[in-house]
């Protein structure tokens, strides 16, 4: 999920957004290619429904194509995308559960593994146990801290982008991320001790 088909730095993304705002289908297509898979992964992670994830991302892209000209700051594009998708996920969960819910489903150890396209990683039993322990520790975090960890480490969003996605002040995001790291470290160590016996 963390691997993208094409790599772009922020300046290239900004330029593509500006060009797409002028009506360039090619620029919009490159933005789509860069962000599509991470968005699908994000939607699937919190909906646990592949068909919905693809539909939600497609709906998000349709909304983006209609409203990209209203985006004032091209640097806000990524956080805007995730925010639009987040609302689609919340709406979906409300329909399923018929009550407001948070996007705080469990993370898998599979989501915590990053591999290079040209490199295969072979896990030993010990590494697999570490992944499982880390996944359990993350899943035991409070919902908002779990979301912040997911957006920061797995979706690689910046603090400012997470602030926009979650509608929380940057300073609060920083303090919650710091608190989540400390909680995660403590929970991980406690779980490791349990497995030793």
In this structure, what are the phi and psi dihedrals at residue 8, rounded to the nearest 5 degrees? -140, 145
Domains of the chain: 1-103 (1.10.1740.10), 106-197 (1.10.10.10)
Determine the pLDDT at residue 32. 95
Three-class SS of residue 109?
A: helix
pTM of the predicted structure, to 2 decimals: 0.60
The whole-number pLDDT of residue 108 equals 47
Residue 34 CA to residue 55 CA, distance in Å, equals 18
pLDDT on residue 184: 86
In this structure, the number of other CB atoms found within 10 A of the CB of residue 17 comes to 22
Distance CA 184, CA 169 (A): 22
Task: Decide if 13 contacts 28 (C-beta within 8 A).
Answer: no
| DSSP E strands, 50-194 | none
R_g of the chain computed on alpha carbons: 18
Distance between terminal CA atoms of the chain? 34
Q: Let me know: does 165 contact 86? Beta carbons within 8 Å.
A: yes
Say what the pLDDT of residue 35 is: 93
The pLDDT value given to residue 121: 41
Q: Which long-range contacts (CB under 8 A, 24 or more apart) does 112-118 make?
A: 112/138, 112/154, 114/2, 114/3, 115/3, 117/3
Task: Give helix 170-196 / helix 125-139 axis angle, nearest 10°.
Answer: 130
Q: Tens-digit pLDDT profile for the chain (197 aa)?
A: 344 445 788 899 999 999 999 999 999 999 999 999 999 988 888 787 899 999 999 999 999 999 999 999 998 899 999 999 988 888 887 787 764 445 544 444 444 444 444 333 433 445 555 667 777 788 788 888 888 888 888 778 889 889 888 889 999 999 999 999 999 888 888 877 776 65
Structure tokens at 76: 């806000």
């Amino acid at each position: 999920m963390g691997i993208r088909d094409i790599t772009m730095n922020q300046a290239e993304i900004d330029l593509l957004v500006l060009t797409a705002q002028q009506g360039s289908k090619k620029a919009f297509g490159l933005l789509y290619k860069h962000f599509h898979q991470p968005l699908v992964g994000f939607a699937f992670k919190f909906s646990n429904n592949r068909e919905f994830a693809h539909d939600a991302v497609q709906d998000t892209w349709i909304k983006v194509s209609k409203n990209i000209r209203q985006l004032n700051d091209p640097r806000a594009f990524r956080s805007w995308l995730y925010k639009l998708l987040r609302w689609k996920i919340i709406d979906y969960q409300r329909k399923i559960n018929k009550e407001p819910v948070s996007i705080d489903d469990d993370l898998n150890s599979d989501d915590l593994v990053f591999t290079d396209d040209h490199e295969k990683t072979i896990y030993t039993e010990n590494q697999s146990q570490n992944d499982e322990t880390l996944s359990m520790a993350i899943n035991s975090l409070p919902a908002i801290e779990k979301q912040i960890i997911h957006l920061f480490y797995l979706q690689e969003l910046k603090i400012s982008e997470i602030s926009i996605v979650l509608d929380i002040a940057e300073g609060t995001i920083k303090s919650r991320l710091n608190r989540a790291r400390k909680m995660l470290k403590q929970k991980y160590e406690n779980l490791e001790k349990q497995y030793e016996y």
